[in-house]
């Protein structure tokens, strides 16, 4: 199956190689596992992060002394996040001279981290950097993550809408854009079916770093070591009919439920970037390049529509059309918003989340933006596609999208 679509002048320009390009020399992710149940339920986020940071440079035999800076997307960080990230980098064999920061732009944090590093390289501030993301929703997710907000700020309606539960924003999108429960369930079932088929065919193997993890059996309380090398939220045999039996989770007469929303998950991913000239000089592999990204704001009460507006914005920056893009990785926070984004843009669903999305695979908040890049590069190799876009909606009402080129 070849996915290389049109070759417009803008696309030809994007595909052209320049020594100043910001290139990806490695991209790696952990398996994505179910929060509180899966393979990483007893693994702290800083250890998960350490594994992928080490793999990012070891995979290409890069001396870690050459890594200048690291940015880590993390939405639910323990103790403010920066210290555990620093500790993870040190544990991963990265020297004390290498700086690090954490970033929280909700579900786009991993992509925001990659963008920060790419821009630092572009500006000549650094030569090598890692854009990464990590989330242990087992450890961070839940009521304790909700802040108490000033009453004065809450007098602004849009500000107050930022506190709406994500599931309610999904219901708002479904109601505002007439997306039926049946349409959402059909989309979600396809996500599971695509992911299950991809997993069976070994299509995730190249992007996943197998990790040995301690795991406590909830029945016997026995601690054992397990090899976590596949996404454990993917289920075979999911159909629209089986999803149709699930009860709505947020409203009595609603359409959003556990089977058509992203899973609560644990995982990490890391992307190592430099300039093409540097990669060539050191004989490093070039997997692809980061072209650019953009972020937009949307009404908080329908935050899920973010990709519908972020994607046209990033395409506008590059001069690309929707047809120039060979495939899309759009985060499936909820089927409602993913369907709205695809329909609003008029993208063929066969070009979206070819190996399934977050409904089937999971959505560790800070990790997803980096995970999508590793997955996108794998898909490009499998399909022959070259130009791909990653995108996601962002809690509190935003969307982010980025353009990448694969050079498989």
* Catalytic position from the list 51, 257, 367, 393: 393
pLDDT at 144 over 80: no
pLDDT at 1 over 60: no
- Residue 110 near residue 96 (C-beta atoms within 8 A): no
Annotated catalytic residue 367: no
Measure the CA–CA gap between 331 and 262, rounded to whole angstroms: 9
pLDDT at 253 over 80: yes
Question: Mean pLDDT throughout 354-369?
Answer: 98
**pLDDT for 300-329, tens place per residue?**
999 999 999 999 999 999 999 999 999 999
Question: Mean pLDDT throughout 78-91?
Answer: 86
* pLDDT band, very low/low/confident/very high, at 156 (cuts 50, 70, 90): very high
pLDDT of residue 51: 98
Measure the CA–CA gap between 224 and 179, rounded to whole angstroms: 45
DSSP 49-106: HHHHHHHHHHTTT--GGG--EEEEE-SS-GGGSHHHHHHHHHHTT--TTSEEEEE-BT
* Residue 390 token pair: 């990653």
pLDDT of residue 56: 98
pLDDT of residue 116: 98
pLDDT of residue 4: 60
Annotated catalytic residue 393: yes
**pLDDT for 377-397, tens place per residue?**
999 999 999 999 999 999 999
Measure the CA–CA gap between 332 and 181, rounded to whole angstroms: 15
* Catalytic position from the list 51, 257, 363, 367: 363
pLDDT at 78 over 80: no
Which of residues 146 and 47 earns the better pLDDT score? 47
Residue 125 gets which letter from DSSP?
Answer: S
pLDDT of residue 140: 86
Residue 146 gets which letter from DSSP?
Answer: P
Question: Mean pLDDT throughout 131-150?
Answer: 87
* Catalytic position from the list 51, 107, 257, 367: 107
Annotated catalytic residue 162: no
DSSP 311-363: HHHHHHHHT--GGG-SEEEE--SBHHHHHHHHHHHT--GGGB-TT--HHHH--
């Amino acid at each position: 199956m070849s996915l290389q679509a049109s070759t417009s002048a803008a696309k030809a320009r994007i595909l052209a190689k320049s020594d100043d390009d910001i290139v990806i020399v490695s991209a790696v992710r952990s398996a994505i596992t179910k929060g509180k149940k899966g393979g990483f339920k007893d693994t702290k986020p800083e250890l998960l992060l350490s594994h992928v940071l080490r793999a990012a440079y070891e995979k290409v035999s890069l001396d870690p002394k050459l890594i200048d800076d690291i940015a880590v997307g993390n939405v639910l960080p323990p103790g403010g996040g920066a210290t555990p990230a620093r500790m993870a980098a040190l544990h991963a064999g990265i020297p004390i001279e290498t700086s690090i920061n954490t970033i929280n732009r909700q579900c786009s944090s991993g992509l925001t981290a990659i963008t920060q590093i790419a821009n630092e390289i572009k500006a000549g501030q650094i030569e090598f950097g890692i854009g990464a993301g990590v989330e242990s929703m087992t450890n961070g997710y839940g009521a304790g993550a909700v802040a108490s907000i000033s009453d004065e700020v809450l007098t602004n309606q849009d500000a107050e809408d930022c506190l709406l539960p994500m599931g309610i924003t999904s219901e708002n999108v479904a109601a505002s854009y007439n997306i039926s429960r049946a349409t959402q369930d059909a989309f979600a079932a396809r996500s599971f079916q695509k992911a299950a088929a991809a997993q069976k065919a070994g299509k995730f193997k190249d992007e996943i770093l197998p990790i040995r993890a301690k795991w406590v059996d909830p029945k016997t309380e026995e601690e054992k070591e397990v090899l976590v090398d596949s996404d454990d939220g993917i289920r075979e045999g999911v159909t629209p009919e089986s999803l149709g039996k699930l009860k709505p989770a947020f409203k009595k007469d609603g359409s959003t439920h556990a089977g058509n929303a992203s899973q609560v998950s644990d995982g990490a991913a890391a992307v190592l970037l430099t300039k093409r000239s540097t990669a060539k000089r050191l004989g490093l592999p070039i997997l692809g390049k980061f072209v650019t990204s953009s972020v937009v704001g949307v009404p908080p009460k329908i935050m899920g529509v973010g990709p519908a507006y972020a994607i046209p914005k990033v395409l506008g920056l590059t001069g690309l059309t929707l047809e120039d893009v060979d495939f899309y990785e759009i985060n499936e926070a909820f089927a409602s918003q993913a369907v709205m984004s695809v329909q609003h843009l008029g993208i063929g669903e066969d070009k979206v989340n070819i190996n399934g999305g977050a409904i089937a695979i999971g959505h560790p908040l800070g990790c997803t933006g980096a995970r999508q890049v590793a997955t996108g590069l794998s898909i490009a190799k499998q399909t022959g596609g070259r130009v791909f876009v990653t995108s996601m909606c962002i809690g509190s009402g935003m969307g982010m999208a980025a353009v990448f080129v694969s050079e498989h």
